[in-house]
Amino acid sequence: MRLNQVLLNLLSNAVKYTQEGGTIQLSLFQEDAPLSKGSDYVRTHIVVKDNGTGMTAEFLEHVFDSYSRADSKRVHKTEGAGLGMAITKYIVDAMEGTITVESEPNKGTEFHVILDLEKADVQEVDMLLPPWKMLVVDDDEVLCRTAVDALESIGIQADWTMSGEKAVEMVTKHHQERDDYQIILLDWKLPGMDGLSIARQIRRMKGYDMPIILISAYDWSEFEAEAREAGINGFISKPLFKSNLFYGLKKYMGEEETEGEANTNMDLSGRHILVAEDNDLNWEILYELLTDLGMELEWAENGKICLEKFEKSESGYYDAILMDVRMPEMNGYEATEAIRALTRADAKTIPIIAMTADAFSEDIKRCLDSGMNAHTAKPINLDEILSLLKRYIL
């Protein structure tokens, strides 16, 4: 969480002080930590670089002071950084790391954070998918290359292209050679033909036997109806991390898809769902999505409130609990364990579904070990939540 705060502070300042048309780069690399730290640590370098307004040598001496801001006409048009950089320095110091800055007026700024982080005992041997042939279509070459690398690491053979027209050409060629792609990842926003136009053209040629998954940083709910009409099967949110791809694609490549389709027409209206979520926006999104389908939702702002609401309810009143993992007062693991320990009959049987951005195999194992029934990764995917609710309620 604190590392995320550091990155947001550095990136928001880079955006704030970089002119329209400028560039901002975020990079990360790792190397062996010093021997004094031991083999359980890895040295991690994070660099945020921009070509914005930059800072004078005099100002650099005070950049980490509270409420510091370079004094120039360009900067006065911008909101102040406030405590952001002071807090950033404090967090890095508390993590026993270093943060340095290089900058020149009108040339840009580069922040360099170095942290020695303890290695996680990550078990990813189970993160493998069938060796399907896939096509990735996106106008960002870096995204294409990193996505293909991530896909190959989970067992998928992948080609890529940055052009919608080229994508149609490649699908056509493979179809004629009887070597069809088995799944397509397709960006929504593309120059020339957009993703939905490409999907329609592929559907006319290939029919509906091949999953086409839309990839975008935009909110899926804003264009889902149009996408479904164009023949899009589902959605994976950018950035395309290995775990996002694994869990996003898994349901289209095995028995989970069949099970989900079998539940499609089952009605959840009138079901009472208790939502433990400390983020107002996430709660509002869930409320709008699920109440539109006739469900009745109740909000618990943290795990402690969730436990109290469940204890005070009549047995069987709630049909399921959607449980955020990271919450104040009492986290999702603790709340689940406390609910399962209650003596009332429904405490052992009520479905509890974890909602978390932590989507690696060890995170899922911890959810299941605490007594949860299943796990869904954030950002929230309505299709996946509905599939899980139907599986455990109906």
pLDDT tens for each residue of the chain, 394 residues long: 788 888 988 998 899 889 989 999 999 999 998 888 888 899 999 999 999 999 888 888 888 875 444 444 443 443 444 457 888 898 899 999 999 999 999 999 999 999 999 988 755 456 788 889 999 999 999 999 999 999 998 889 999 999 999 999 999 998 888 888 999 999 988 888 888 999 999 988 877 778 999 998 777 777 788 888 889 998 888 888 888 898 889 888 863 444 334 344 457 889 999 999 998 888 988 898 898 888 999 999 999 999 999 999 999 999 999 999 989 889 999 999 999 999 998 999 999 999 887 655 566 778 888 999 888 877 777 878 888 888 888 7
> What's the pLDDT at 375?
81
Instruction: Give one DSSP letter per residue of 48-76, joined into a string.
Output: EEE-SS---HHHHTTTTSTT----SHHHH
Cβ atoms of 332 and 300 within 8 Å: the answer is no
Q: Is residue 252 within 8 Å of 233, Cβ to Cβ?
A: yes
- Could you tell me if residue 275 is left (phi over 0), alpha (psi between -120 and 50 degrees) or otherwise beta? beta
**181 near 135, Cβ under 8 Å?**
yes
Q: Using CB atoms within 10 A of its CB, is residue 184 exposed (0-12), middle (13-18) or buried (19+)?
A: buried
Please give the Cα distance from 311 to 306 (Å, whole number).
9
Determine the pLDDT at residue 128: 84
Runs of H (alpha helix) within the chain: 2-16, 57-60, 73-76, 84-94, 141-153, 164-176, 195-206, 224-229, 242-250, 255-262, 280-291, 303-312, 332-340, 361-369, 382-393
| Predicted local confidence at residue 295, as pLDDT | 92
Q: How many residues does the chain have?
A: 394
175 CB contacts (<8 Å, ≥6 apart)? Answer: 205, 206
Q: What is the dihedral of CA 382, 384, 389, 394, to 10 degrees?
A: 110
Q: What is the rounded distance in angstroms from the CA atom of residue 19 to the CA atom of residue 78?
A: 11
Q: What pLDDT was estimated at residue 256?
A: 47
pTM across the whole model: 0.46
Element (H, E) at 117: strand 108-118
